């Protein structure tokens, strides 16, 4: 009889716990909407107006943390936008958005929506969409390659943080070129080195340019590499 009462007590205690869990755990749903305002520059090559029936490649450029904020002119400090100001001519469109937050990560979903809009409203060859970024923008470029593996024909990353655990999510058919200074104190050289080694082990097509004695500003040399732009224009997505 004593055992019976103990079993009965345990049964009611168990039922009480179940009832309590049912009260505390509910099913719910909420639809969220995030709105992002992105200012941007859009460069057109000279041939764009002259060859009105031709589709052109486009390069998406993501700047570093130092150019973030609400002053669009800051984008012209580095990379392709700086070179355009200095008179450089490119054979493709260049989309250069600005991250509005000085201390926040890029909103890559918003960037992707902007890119899709620019592609849809201009004569862009959808098989020749290229991606590049430096520092914080380099990290965002890696992220976009993971999130949108079927979008880009090629990618070049300069001293960016890498999503190593998701390396295999990147499209194996997309050529990649990585640049990094070996003395980088802001984003360690090992970030790129480890990622490049991992991708090579998995059979990815990847180029790696190392700059001995160079710190975080490796983008100065990287974006002056004329071969980089020739390499971009040679890349076409198969699908």
Per-residue pLDDT of the chain (239 residues; tens, 9 = 90+): 555 445 444 444 445 554 455 558 888 999 888 889 999 999 999 999 999 899 999 999 999 999 999 999 999 999 999 999 999 999 999 999 999 998 899 999 999 999 999 999 999 999 999 999 999 999 999 999 999 999 999 999 999 999 999 999 999 999 999 999 999 999 999 999 999 999 999 999 999 999 999 999 999 999 999 999 999 999 999 87
What distance in Å separates the CA atoms of residue 180 and residue 158, rounded to the nearest whole number? 6
Residue 46 located in a structural domain: yes
The answer to the question of residue 125 being in a domain is yes
Write out the residue range of the structural domain in which residue 174 sits: 38-233
Identify the pLDDT of residue 16.
Answer: 53
Tell me if 235 sits within 8 A of 206, measured CB to CB.
no
In a domain, 30, yes or no: no
Examine residue 141 and state whether it is found in any structural domain, yes or no: yes
CATH number at residue 113: 3.40.50.1820
The answer to whether residue 21 sits within a structural domain is no
User: In terms of DSSP bridges, do strands 40-43 and 93-97 run parallel, antiparallel, or are they unpaired?
Assistant: antiparallel
Number of domains in the chain: 1
Q: Of 195, 200, 133, whose CA–CA distance to 172 is shortest?
A: 200
Residue 117, pLDDT score: 98
Q: What CA–CA distances, in Å, run from 57 to 79, 146, 173, 224, 226? A: 18, 21, 18, 20, 17
Please check whether residue 9 lies inside any domain of the structure.
Answer: no
Cα distances (angstroms) measured from residue 6 to each of 13, 15, 114, 132: 10, 14, 66, 69
**The predicted structure's pLDDT at residue 91:** 96
Q: Is residue 146 part of a domain?
A: yes
pLDDT for 63 equals 98
Residue 10 structure tokens? 């345990």
Asked whether residue 24 is assigned to any structural domain, the reply reads no
CA distance 209 to 221: 10
């Amino acid at each position: 009889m004593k055992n019976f009462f103990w079993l009965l007590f345990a049964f009611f205690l168990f039922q009480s716990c179940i009832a309590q869990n049912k009260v505390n755990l509910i099913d719910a749903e909420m639809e969220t909407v995030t709105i992002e305002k992105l200012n941007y520059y859009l460069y057109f090559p000279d041939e764009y107006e002259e060859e009105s029936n031709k589709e052109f490649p486009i390069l998406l450029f993501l700047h570093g943390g130092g150019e973030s904020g609400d002053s669009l002119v800051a984008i012209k400090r580095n990379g392709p936008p700086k070179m355009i100001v200095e008179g450089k001519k490119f054979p493709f469109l260049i989309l250069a958005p600005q991250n509005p937050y000085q201390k926040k990560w890029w909103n890559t979903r918003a960037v992707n929506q902007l890119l899709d809009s620019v592609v849809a409203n201009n004569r862009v060859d959808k098989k020749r969409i290229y991606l590049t970024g430096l520092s914080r923008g380099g990290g965002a470029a890696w992220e976009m390659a993971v999130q949108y593996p079927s979008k880009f024909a090629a990618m070049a990353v300069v001293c960016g943080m890498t999503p190593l655990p998701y390396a295999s999510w990147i499209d194996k058919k997309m050529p990649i070129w990585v640049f990094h200074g070996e003395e980088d104190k802001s984003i360690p050289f090992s970030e790129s080195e480890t990622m490049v080694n991992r991708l090579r082990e998995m059979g990815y097509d990847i180029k790696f340019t190392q700059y001995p004695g160079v710190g975080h500003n490796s983008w100065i040399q990287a974006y002056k590499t004329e071969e980089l732009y020739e390499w971009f224009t040679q890349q076409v997505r198969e699908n």
